[in-house]
Amino acid sequence: MAQQPSQLGKIAVDNALKALEGKKVEETIKVPVKVVTKENVAGFTG
Q: Mean pLDDT in runs of 10 for the chain (46 residues)?
A: 86 96 94 89 79
Query: How many domains would you assign to the chain?
Result: 1
Q: What's residue 11's pLDDT?
A: 94
Q: What's residue 3's pLDDT?
A: 82
**Of residues 16, 14, 6, the one with CA closest to residue 33:** 6
Question: What's the rounded Cα separation, in Å, for the pair 5 and 25?
Answer: 20
Residue-range definition of the domain harbouring residue 19: 5-43
Question: What's the rounded Cα separation, in Å, for the pair 46 and 5?
Answer: 11
Calculate the alpha carbon distances from 44 to 12, 17, 26 in Å: 22, 29, 29
